[in-house]
């Protein structure tokens, strides 16, 4: 039976804030992590997304900091993306309502002037992306002498985004005597490497098998021949207004995301859809996510930059319009639905060129994704020549990854005549030798 928050050694101010937020029982990661964090242990937490791990480290940190003190940060929480940093900041604000603790979130993409002014006013909990933290530290705006807690959230995404160098630099400038908390959804070699550098005799907390999607997310896979048929299938599925109440459509690139957005905007109107990706301004992204959270927008189209920064309850569906190339992102994408104890649906569209990544994903999550037949009524378009060529090239590239000696269909086609000529020459040479040998034999017989 799940543990009530009242059973943890949390003070009344925090418990009241938890109750106000509507939380009554702890999720498995909260149940396993809160006690050890309160007792001062280093933690290595492995938990799928949407399991409430932010509260698992925020609540005990708030409990131990208790009240505002001094001007310099006493807790530093590092996050890979600005969206996730903002999400963590919201949780800190929510749970510290009845305390005077000061929290601040800093990230790149906007000018540092306001952030510098806010830091100068005094801060207890600093939530930051690694790049902006280092920029302001090196500029002399952040003093790390008072740090007691260092949290590395979504460590696997940090490693994917190439932050390992920044993390090592940050470890050099924070006090040695501190409590460290590291959380990750998957356990890659790089995550294990940074954990070894970062943690001292950690308590390992694992709430699910690594990279296992939430059990309450129903997964479906459609094999679709091309881009236009994907659009037709998407349109067909969205006719079911009652089921598809709030959905996120994930795309591989900014170009595809913009194309999907334009298509959706024409079909369902500008008020019902938003798009977020790296080329969108910070304010645009924040406003789009907030509109989606508030239920004013039905559809959010996004690239993977947003796959870990959106914590929205009641997302009915996640649609993977493209299969992610970084296969771990599949787990993070589908974790946007079925959050906490809710049910959710994750639907993936895959072309022949994406089968390779589906196999890799199934190996990662240790389960097969159920395949559905394209419904009747969905018009299956003919694949244009250029797209057909692109898919063939992708398949060649994948085969080459598996077998370095594989030359590829394009190579074979290009050199077909040369290969054929070489075979003919070889056959002629062989036949010539046989004739020569035969003639020699005859001459020998005549002499005899």
Question: Can you tell me the distance from the alpha carbon of 291 to that of 334, in angstroms, rounded to the nearest whole number?
Answer: 20
Q: Which of 22-31, 217-226, 437-446 has the lowest mean pLDDT?
A: 437-446
Question: Can you tell me the distance from the alpha carbon of 64 to that of 154, in angstroms, rounded to the nearest whole number?
Answer: 23
Question: Can you tell me the distance from the alpha carbon of 74 to that of 393, in angstroms, rounded to the nearest whole number?
Answer: 52
Q: What values do phi and psi take at 176, rounded to 5?
A: -70, -35
Which of 129, 14, 117, 50 shows the shortest CA–CA distance to 82?
129
For residues 248 and 336, membership in a common domain is answered with yes
> What pLDDT is stored for residue 326 in this prediction?
77
Q: Which of 173-177, 183-187, 309-313 has the highest mean pLDDT?
A: 173-177
Of the three residues 206, 227, 252, the one that is the final residue of a domain is: 206
Which of 189, 191, 184, 188 shows the shortest CA–CA distance to 208?
184
Pick 411 or 251 by higher pLDDT.
251
For residues 10 and 83, membership in a common domain is answered with yes
Q: Is pLDDT above 90 for 212?
A: no
Cα distance from N-terminal residue to C-terminal residue, the chain: 103
Q: What is the pLDDT of residues 308-359, one digit of tens each?
A: 556 677 788 999 999 988 777 888 788 888 766 678 899 999 999 999 999 9
User: Residues 85, 107: contact at Cβ < 8 Å?
Assistant: yes
Number of Cβ within 10 Å of residue 198's Cβ equals 20
Q: Is pLDDT above 90 for 145?
A: yes
Beta strands at 371-372 and 344-350: parallel, antiparallel or unpaired:
unpaired
330 located within any domain: yes
Of the three residues 334, 354, 383, the one that is the final residue of a domain is: 383
For residues 185 and 274, membership in a common domain is answered with no
Question: Can you tell me the distance from the alpha carbon of 356 to that of 97, in angstroms, rounded to the nearest whole number?
Answer: 48
For residues 188 and 306, membership in a common domain is answered with no
User: Residues 366, 329: contact at Cβ < 8 Å?
Assistant: no
| Cross-sheet strand order for the sheet of 217-223 | 273-276, 299-302, 247-250, 317-320, 344-350, 217-223, 371-372
388 located within any domain: no
> What pLDDT is stored for residue 417 in this prediction?
57
Question: Can you tell me the distance from the alpha carbon of 397 to that of 298, in angstroms, rounded to the nearest whole number?
Answer: 37
423 located within any domain: no
> What pLDDT is stored for residue 78 in this prediction?
96
The CATH code of the domain that includes 261 is: 3.40.50.300
In sequence order, the β-bridge partners of residue 76 are 126, 150
Pick 176 or 48 by higher pLDDT.
176
Which of 55, 60, 58 shows the shortest CA–CA distance to 29?
55
41 located within any domain: yes
For residues 275 and 193, membership in a common domain is answered with no
For residues 28 and 152, membership in a common domain is answered with yes
Phi-psi region of 372 (alpha: psi -120 to 50; beta: other; left: phi over 0): beta
348 located within any domain: yes
Q: Is pLDDT above 80 for 184?
A: yes
Residue 324's domain comprises 217-383
For residues 147 and 43, membership in a common domain is answered with yes
Output the CA–CA distances (angstroms, integers) from residue 118 to 102, 115, 136, 177, 363, in the order listed: 10, 5, 12, 26, 47
Q: What values do phi and psi take at 63, rounded to 5?
A: -60, -40
Q: Is pLDDT above 70 for 214?
A: no
Q: What is the pTM of this model?
A: 0.60
401 located within any domain: no
> What pLDDT is stored for residue 7 in this prediction?
87
Number of domains in the chain: 2
For residues 312 and 249, membership in a common domain is answered with yes
431 located within any domain: no
pLDDT (mean) for 290-317: 79
Of the three residues 206, 239, 261, the one that is the final residue of a domain is: 206
Q: What is the pLDDT of residues 64-79, one digit of tens each?
A: 999 999 999 999 999 9
For residues 144 and 47, membership in a common domain is answered with yes
């Amino acid at each position: 039976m799940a543990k009530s928050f009242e059973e943890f050694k949390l003070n009344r101010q925090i418990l009241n804030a938890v109750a106000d937020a509507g939380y009554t029982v702890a999720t498995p990661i909260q149940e396993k992590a809160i006690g050890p964090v309160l007792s001062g242990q280093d933690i290595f937490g492995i938990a799928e997304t949407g399991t409430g791990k932010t509260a698992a480290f925020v609540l005990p940190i708030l409990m131990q900091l208790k009240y505002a003190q001094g001007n310099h940060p006493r807790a530093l929480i590092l996050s890979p993306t600005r969206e996730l940093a903002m999400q963590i900041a919201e949780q800190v604000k929510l749970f510290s309502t009845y305390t005077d603790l000061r929290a601040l979130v800093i990230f790149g993409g906007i000018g540092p002037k306001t952030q510098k002014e806010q830091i100068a006013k005094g801060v207890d909990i600093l939530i930051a992306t690694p790049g902006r933290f280092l920029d302001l530290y090196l500029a002399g705006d952040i003093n790390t002498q008072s740090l007691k807690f260092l949290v590395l959230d979504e460590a696997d995404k940090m490693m994917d985004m190439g932050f390992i160098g920044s993390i090592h630099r940050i470890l050099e400038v924070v006090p040695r005597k501190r409590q460290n908390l590291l959380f990750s959804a998957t356990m890659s070699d790089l995550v294990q490497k940074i954990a070894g550098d970062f943690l001292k005799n950690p308590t390992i907390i694992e709430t699910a098998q690594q990279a296992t999607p939430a059990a309450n997310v129903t997964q479906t896979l459609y094999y679709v021949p091309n881009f236009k048929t994907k659009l037709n299938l998407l349109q067909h599925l969205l006719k079911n207004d009652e089921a598809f109440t709030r959905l996120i459509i994930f795309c591989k690139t900014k170009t595809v995301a913009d194309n999907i957005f334009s298509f959706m905007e024409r079909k369902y109107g500008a008020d019902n859809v938003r798009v977020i990706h790296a080329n969108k301004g910070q304010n645009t992204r924040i406003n789009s996510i907030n509109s989606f959270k508030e239920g004013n927008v039905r559809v959010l189209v996004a690239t993977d930059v947003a796959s870990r920064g959106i914590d929205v309850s009641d997302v009915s569906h996640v649609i993977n319009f493209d299969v992610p190339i970084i296969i771990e992102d599949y787990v993070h994408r589908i974790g946007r639905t079925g959050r906490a104890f809710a049910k959710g649906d994750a639907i993936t569209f895959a072309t022949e060129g994406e089968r390779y990544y589906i196999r890799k994903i199934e190996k990662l999550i240790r389960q097969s994704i159920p395949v559905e037949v394209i419904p009747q009524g969905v018009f299956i378009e003919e694949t244009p020549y250029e797209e057909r060529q692109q898919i063939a090239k992708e398949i060649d590239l994948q085969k080459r990854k598996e077998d370095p000696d594989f030359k590829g269909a394009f190579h074979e086609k290009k050199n077909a005549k040369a290969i054929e000529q070489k075979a003919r020459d070889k056959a002629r040479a062989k036949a010539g030798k046989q004739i020569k040998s035969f003639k020699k034999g005859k001459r020998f017989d005549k002499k005899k």
